[in-house]
Amino acid sequence: METKNLSKREVTGSSNGYPEPRVGDFFFDFDNLDQAKEYADQVGGEVRIASWKDGWANCTLQGTPYEEFTPSDDDYGDDFHIIDSAEELKVTAYWMIDESMDDDEKAAWKESGDDLIACCADINWEKDSVLLHCGDFYETVAKKSMLFHYDTKTSVIGVVVFS
């Protein structure tokens, strides 16, 4: 297995990111869980989830993964929503249009929905989902990923080699 493209961080036993006590090294940037398992077998390590906050040089261990990360609404704040298909996007884009609205209100909401659908026209729905914030496009997120980042925290699936 090619390892020159892997990233490495030191693992700390401290919950606040300080370097002591040093627990080992954490290797990440694998394409999938199978690659991580293969590497763990080669180096005598364990596949684990590690996390760090922005600005931390070290990471802390969080647990053992059984599959890649799958983002959901629960992973983000209250105003965020994950869309998994073009059909769901269409329903979401036009959900506010109501018969009780006057024609100008309907036109404004339809234009907003059209803009959202146009923004997401090139999404590969087999691999990616769309993250909306307050109904607006925020970013594209992978349906399965070895890395999850939100706000100031990053969680990664990789291999720990204990010291």
- Mean pLDDT over the full length of the chain: 92
Quick check: 107 pLDDT over 80?
Answer: yes
For residues 25 and 59, is the Cβ–Cβ distance under 8 A?
no
Handedness of CA 103, 115, 144, 60 (dihedral sign): negative
Q: What's this model's pTM, rounded to 2 decimal places?
A: 0.83
Domain ranges of the chain: 7-69+144-162, 73-142
Q: What percentage of residues in the chain have a pLDDT greater than 70?
A: 98
Report the alpha-carbon distance of residue 36 to residue 24 in Å, rounded.
16
* Better pLDDT: 142 or 3: 142
